[in-house]
């Protein structure tokens, strides 16, 4: 249902934006636990999708790495105007932003992206999200789902969140927006951050699409009764209220999925694989070292496209904070003991 809804949204967005110079949305990609098959619980479930954005005609996007003040790689998306004089000569109804007088452009053509959703020369996350909030509100009225469901937009500056309700049933959807790095499965996205202040021109590197593709890659190889998602589902439920994040758990399981053969994840192996996950987590806690699964992983499936530098760089340590803070490490070991007891 969510996939169908997003396809319809994207189609209407494309029609409504065709006369202006706004980022062009592409087919949405489902990411996160709901689409990977291991969501810990039905209540509070968020269906998260990433909507890739392409530059409008006469524009180009350039990703510029900005490493200042953030715990992960983040980028700015610089917008460049391109010459379109050739298109005009071919009879296309578009004036060149670079070579036509400003007065003629103002009189005969919508403003460029630089004058609508940018701050300076950079695509602004909050302006982009605000614009798509407006598009969702208008597009919803043209969708067949609007006859049976009610849509309530939720406040969010870096994503477009909305709740669909029908009677007692409710579905939360979060649309993130992103720009693809070349032709790879790595994006920079509008995802919210834990940092108190994130500049509105900052787009965070996300590996969510590559990770979702990894789960599909495993599903094609695993037995039909594979228990890897059930392990994740059970342990992530137990983690609620504990200091470990579900992403930590997911990273541990992805590492094991790349080392333990698919044939050993059958339903009968559930208890053993559960213990393997807990032992792996314990070893990482003791050494205060849990490597990122995508970055610096030369064994990552080659069918999933990554920028060349990501495979060979030193992988970030997700437990670096434990090495810096002895109190945090003591709490983590105590919480692990509680998890093991459960």
pLDDT digits (tens, 9 = 90+) for 242-263: 778 899 999 999 999 999 999 9
| Contact of 291 with 315, CB cutoff 8 Å | yes
Closest residue by Cα to residue 202 from 119, 80, 135: 119
Residue 39 has a pLDDT of 87
User: What would the pLDDT profile of 172-184 be if each residue is shown by its tens digit?
Assistant: 999 999 999 999 9
Strand partners, 60: 80
pLDDT per position as a tens digit, 25-75: 999 999 999 999 998 776 678 999 999 999 999 999 999 998 654 457 899
The region that residue 223 occupies, defined by phi over 0 for left and psi between -120 and 50 for alpha, beta otherwise, is: beta
β pairing state of 118-119 and 74-81: unpaired
pLDDT tens-digit map of 2-12: 999 999 998 88
Q: What is the distance of C-alpha 212 from the center of its chain?
A: 10
CA–CA–CA angle 243, 249, 252 (5° rounding)? 135
- Give mean pLDDT, residues 259-269: 95
Cα 132 to Cα 5, 20, 95, 146, 168: the distances in Å are 15, 14, 25, 18, 27
Give the pLDDT of residue 341.
82
Judged against a pLDDT cut of 60, whether residue 342 lies above it is answered with: yes
Sequence ranges of the chain with CATH classification 1.10.1410.40:
222-340
Q: Per-residue b/e over 309-328, b at no fewer than 16 CB within 10 Å?
A: ebeeeebbbbbeebeeeeee
Contact present, 251 and 318 (Cβ < 8 Å): yes
Which SS3 state, helix, strand or coil, does residue 102 take?
helix
Contacts of 70 (CB under 8 A, 6+ apart): 193, 195, 198, 202, 204
| pLDDT tens readout for residues 77-117 | 999 999 988 866 555 678 999 999 989 999 989 999 999 99
Q: What pTM does this model have?
A: 0.92
Mean pLDDT rounded to a whole number for the chain:
91
What fold does the segment set 222-340 form as a domain? Poly(a)-polymerase, middle domain (1.10.1410)
Strand 118-119 to 59-66 pairing: unpaired
1-207 placed in CATH 3.30.70.260: no
The predicted pLDDT at position 89 comes to 58
pLDDT of 15 > 70? The answer is: yes
Condensed to tens digits (0 to 9), the pLDDT of residues 278-332 reads 999 999 999 999 999 999 998 899 999 999 888 888 999 999 999 999 999 999 9
Phi, psi of 147 (to 5 degrees): -75, -20
For residue 293 the two structure tokens come to 């699964």
Does the pLDDT of residue 221 top 70, yes or no? yes
Q: For residues 33 and 39, give the distance between their C-alpha atoms in angstroms, rounded to a whole number.
A: 5
């Amino acid at each position: 249902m969510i996939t169908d809804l997003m396809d319809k949204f994207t189609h209407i967005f494309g029609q409504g934006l065709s006369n202006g110079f706004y980022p062009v949305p592409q087919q949405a990609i489902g990411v996160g636990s709901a689409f990977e098959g291991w969501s810990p619980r039905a209540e509070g479930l968020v269906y998260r999708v990433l909507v890739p954005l392409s530059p409008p005609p006469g524009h180009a996007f350039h990703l510029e790495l900005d490493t200042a003040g953030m715990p992960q790689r983040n980028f700015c998306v610089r917008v460049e105007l391109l010459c379109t004089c050739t298109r005009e000569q071919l009879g296309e109804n578009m004036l060149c932003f670079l070579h036509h007088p400003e007065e003629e452009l103002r009189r005969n053509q919508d403003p460029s992206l630089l004058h609508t959703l940018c701050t300076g020369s950079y695509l602004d996350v909050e302006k982009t999200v605000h614009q798509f909030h407006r598009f969702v509100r208008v597009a919803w009225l043209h969708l067949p789902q609007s006859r049976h469901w009610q849509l309530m937009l939720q406040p969010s500056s870096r994503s477009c969140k909305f709740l669909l309700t029908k009677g007692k049933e409710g579905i939360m959807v979060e649309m993130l927006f992103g720009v693809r790095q070349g032709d790879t499965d790595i994006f920079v996205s509008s995802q919210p951050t834990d940092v108190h202040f994130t500049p509105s021109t900052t787009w965070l590197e996300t590996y969510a699409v590559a990770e979702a593709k990894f789960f599909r890659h495993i599903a094609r190889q695993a037995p039909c009764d594979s228990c890897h998602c059930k392990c994740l589902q059970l342990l992530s439920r137990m983690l609620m209220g504990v200091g470990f994040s579900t992403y930590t758990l997911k990273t541990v399981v992805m590492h094991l999925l790349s080392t333990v053969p698919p044939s050993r994840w059958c339903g009968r192996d559930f208890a053993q694989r559960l213990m393997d996950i807990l032992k792996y987590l314990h070893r990482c806690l003791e050494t205060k070292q849990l490597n990122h699964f995508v970055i610096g992983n030369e064994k990552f499936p080659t069918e999933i496209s990554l920028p060349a530098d990501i495979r060979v760089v030193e992988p970030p340590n997700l437990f670096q904070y434990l090495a810096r803070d002895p109190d945090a490490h003591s709490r983590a070991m105590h919480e692990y003991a509680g998890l093991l007891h459960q």
